[in-house]
Amino acid sequence: MRIRSAGPDDIADLARLNAEVHAIHLAAMPDIYRPASADAIEGWFRGVLGDAAVVVLVADEDDALGFYRALGYDTLLTRLTRPL
């Protein structure tokens, strides 16, 4: 397994993986989550990968891929305290 920073070439794979996880969240908590198209998810990842305060790491091995997103403290604080 190799762990590395995610890049633009990973967006389609990250979006596919995220869509599976998002479907579970949506089924469990439809009052909080809303449906998202593949284009919307890919756009979200493009924005995240362009944010210098966010680190996205991917673990890949053969055809398997996983990801982890970490926010910088300032970004996390802003996102946690802004109104919904």
Model pTM greater than 0.85?
no
For the record, the structure tokens of 46 come out as: 């493009």
Nearest to 41 by CA among 63, 60, 67: 67
For residues 38 and 66, give the distance between their C-alpha atoms in angstroms, rounded to a whole number: 17
For residues 71 and 5, give the distance between their C-alpha atoms in angstroms, rounded to a whole number: 14
Structural domains of the chain ordered from first start = 2-81 (3.40.630.30)
In order along the chain (84 residues), what is the average pLDDT of each group of 10 residues?
87 89 90 88 89 82 65 49 47
What residues contact residue 56 under an 8 Å CB cut-off, 6+ apart? Answer: 5, 6, 14, 45, 48, 49, 67, 68, 69, 70
pLDDT of residue 36: 87
